Amino acid sequence: MSALIAVGLLVAVAAAATGLFAGPTLARLWRRRRIARRPFPAAWRDIVRRRVPLVRELPAAQQLRLKQHVQVLLAEVPFVGCAGLEVDDEMRVTIAAQAALLLLGRGGSFGNVREVLVYPGHFAAPRREQGPGGIVHEGRDVLAGQSWERGQVIVAWDAVLDGAADPHDGANVVIHEFAHQLDQDTGAANGAPYVGRGAVQQTWARVMNREFDALRARLARGEHGLIDAYAATSPAEFFAVASEVFFERPAALAAEHPALYEQLGRCYRLDPVTW
């Protein structure tokens, strides 16, 4: 076999392999574009207006973008009722509209999300903790939401409604759990979603670590502030809680924690103070 023919065969094999891997990705992008171009159902528009008042504060172009993300999310991700709950469009659209806020500037999708599980109310989840001497303690926590690395988001419908009803209280379970999913796109949640590489990533880590340590120091002194104490649990929870505040109390966050607000703005590629 001549060298020229051998090279040609290698190129053909490489092109075929590239097609195998790139094909589904391109097909998915085309499908999402087709879905996003569909008219947004009037019934869904009414649900968003009634249930997610924060959306009314967005600029018109971002409202349109949010609806497109809602359509894609609902077309790709199954919503499953738990504990006898029958999930309807009211629930699906209300949850998806809040989750879509996180994609307004970043674009793309929640690549890791496989399904959304919805309980009618707060739910119990098992807990295992290893104490001194390696002794394992088991218990149960009552939760409003969870995010699993395997791609499941779990939310309580009553908490979803409460979080959406007041768009400026800084508490939103959907934003919180879907922020974890962004964090988990590349593995276990650690408070470091993809924001860029090199100096950008280093600046993110430096600011977030400094703000996390400052929060824990304030709490040790008995001082409470804008960011809920639960954020001091871990860097992953700090990112998720700070994301809630970023979207729902942006002006206060920008005033009290300007460096944190700047980093979250770069992460989400948004400036909600201007809404």
User: At 121, phi and psi to the nearest 5?
Assistant: -145, -175
- Kindly report the CATH number that applies to the domain delimited by 190-275: 3.40.390.10
Q: Which residue has the higher pLDDT, 169 or 131?
A: 169
pLDDT for 6 equals 39
- Token output for 194: 């993809």
Residue type, 262: E
The residues that bridge with 160 in the sheet, in sequence order, are none
Listed in sequence order, the residues at least 6 apart from 82 whose beta carbon sits closer than 8 Å to its beta carbon are 117, 118, 119, 123, 154
Whether 85 contacts 118, CB under 8 Å: yes
Please state, as a whole number, how many other Cβ atoms lie within 10 Å of the Cβ of residue 21: 8
Answer whether 243's CB lies under 8 Å from 145's CB: no
pLDDT the model gives residue 15: 36
Contact by Cβ (8 Å): 70, 97: yes
Query: With bands split at pLDDT 50, 70 and 90, how would you rate the model's confidence at 182?
Result: very high
Q: Which CATH superfamily is domain 24-128+149-166 in?
A: Glucose-regulated metallo-peptidase M90, N-terminal domain (1.10.472.150)
Phi-psi region at 57: left, alpha or beta (left = phi > 0; alpha = psi -120 to 50): alpha
CA distance 272 to 250: 6
Residue ranges of the chain that CATH labels 1.10.472.150: 24-128+149-166
Q: What are the distances in angstroms from CA 26 to CA 18, 33, 83, 92, 193?
A: 11, 11, 38, 27, 24
| Beta carbons of 156 and 84 less than 8 angstroms apart | no
Q: How confident is the model at residue 127 (pLDDT cuts 50, 70, 90)?
A: low
pLDDT at residue 4 in the model: 34
In sign, the C-alpha dihedral spanning 162, 57, 268, 100 is positive
Mean pLDDT value across residues 225-230: 96
Q: Which amino acid is at 68?
A: Q
Predicted local distance difference test score (pLDDT) of residue 1: 43
Residue range(s) in the chain whose domain bears CATH number 3.40.390.10: 190-275
Using the structure block, give the residue that is written with the tokens 């860029």: 196
> Are 130 and 136 spatial neighbours (Cβ–Cβ below 8 Å)?
yes
What's the average model confidence in pLDDT over 39-53? 98
The two structure tokens encoding residue 84: 């006898």
pLDDT band for 49, please (50, 70, 90 cuts): very high
Token readout for 228 is 């809920």
Q: 256 exposed, middle or buried (CB, 10 Å; 0-12, 13-18, 19+)?
A: middle
Q: Are 236 and 259 in contact (CB under 8 A)?
A: no
DSSP state of 105: T
Q: Is the pLDDT of residue 17 over 60?
A: no
| Torsion angles phi and psi, residue 79, rounded to 5 | -110, 125
